Structure 1
């Protein structure tokens, strides 16, 4: 599968080691779930502005900024959006943006850790 075929990947039962390897590849990541550790609003605005090369949106809510950032990255067609569900905890994990240039590395990590995904094997 090429990077352009499907830029969104959902991984299930991701171990701490696999998550660490994938997060190393990410340009941006955030944790979700009961102990979510989100970025500060100013960091998200700066990242969104860098991706879009335009003014940052005026939204005050972090969730809106994250959604805007993810949409902009998806539109840029230069990133893979990966959703990592923690092993044993399907309601928590990470969302990360991995550049297309690291798609081969992404596939190697998936193979190394035998991760389950709907889009990558």
Structure 2
């Protein structure tokens, strides 16, 4: 049964605290981690960071993010996309909070996250 992640307990079940303090999400045989790309203003000062997702499979092989977010391979693909999108944002926010910097964080969001058709009680078996 595939269920939409809706509460803290659901998310915590997928999160791992690594030895270096980073948070990683584990979901359906893949892991999601964060990297942060600096964004500069015209004066060439860092004004913020874009959070980027790095994905690996169970064997540690890197996987292209678009393959994960756009090519889920079963009938529950909408729920998987939504879960991965939300998990990646949780991972990015937790990891970025460790840096204690005073600047903006830019997050990429899938349009599927704005669809109201997914409800907290929706379950597909």
Q: TM-score surpassing 0.5?
A: no
Structure holding more helix per residue? 1
* Structure with bigger RCO (C-alpha 8 Å, 6+ apart): 1
Higher strand share: 2
* The structure with more radius of gyration: 2
